[in-house]
Amino acid sequence: MHNVLVTGSNGQLGSEIKELSSEYRYNFFFTDRETLDITDKNAVAAFVEQNNINVIINCAAYTAVDKAEADETNADAINHLAVKQMAEISKEKNIQLIHISTDYVFDGKNYKPYNEEDTTNPNGVYGATKLAGEKAIIALNPINAIIIRTSWVYSSFGANFVKTMLRLGKEKESLGVIFDQVGTPTYARDLAKAILEILSCRPELDSGSQVQIYHYSNEGVLSWYDFAKEIMRMAKLECVINPIETKEYPTPATRPHYSLLNKSKIKKEFNLSIPYWKDSLDECMKKMGERR
pLDDT tens-digit readout, 173-190 = 999 999 999 999 999 999
The rounded percent of the chain whose pLDDT value lies above 90 is: 93
**pLDDT for 19-73, tens place per residue?**
999 998 899 999 999 999 999 999 999 999 999 999 999 999 999 999 999 999 9
For 193, phi and psi rounded to 5 degrees? -60, -40
Task: Reduce the DSSP state of residue 37 to 3 states and report it.
Answer: coil
Maximal CA-CA distance, the chain: 59
| Residue among 104, 249, 117, 111 at smallest CA distance from 176 | 249
**Counts of helices then strands in the chain (DSSP H, E):** 10, 12
Residue 128 has pLDDT above 60, yes or no: yes
From 75-84, 249-258, 280-289, the region with the lowest mean pLDDT:
249-258
126 catalytic residue (yes or no): yes
Distance (Å, whole) CA 106 – CA 123? 7
Active-site residue among 126, 187, 214, 258? 126
Q: Mean pLDDT, the chain, as a whole number?
A: 95
Distance (Å, whole) CA 247 – CA 90? 43
Return the bridge partners of 261, or none: 114
Helix (H) or strand (E) holding 102: strand 96-102
Q: For each of the domains in the chain, give its residue range(s) and CATH number, in order of start.
A: 3-160+185-218+260-274 (3.40.50.720)
Average pLDDT rounded to a whole number, residues 120-133: 97
* Distance from the Cα of residue 98 to its chain's centroid: 12
**pLDDT for 11-20, tens place per residue?**
999 999 999 9
CA triplet 260, 142, 133: central angle to 5 degrees?
A: 45
CB burial of 197-231 (b: ≥16 within 10 Å; e: otherwise) equals ebbeebeeeeeeeebbbbbbbbbbebbbbbbbbbb
**pLDDT-derived band at 97, boundaries 50, 70, 90:** very high
For 100, phi and psi rounded to 5 degrees? -100, 125
**pLDDT for 228-243, tens place per residue?**
999 999 999 999 999 9
**pLDDT-derived band at 204, boundaries 50, 70, 90:** low
Output the pTM of the full model: 0.96
Single-letter amino acid, residue 254? T
**pLDDT-derived band at 209, boundaries 50, 70, 90:** confident
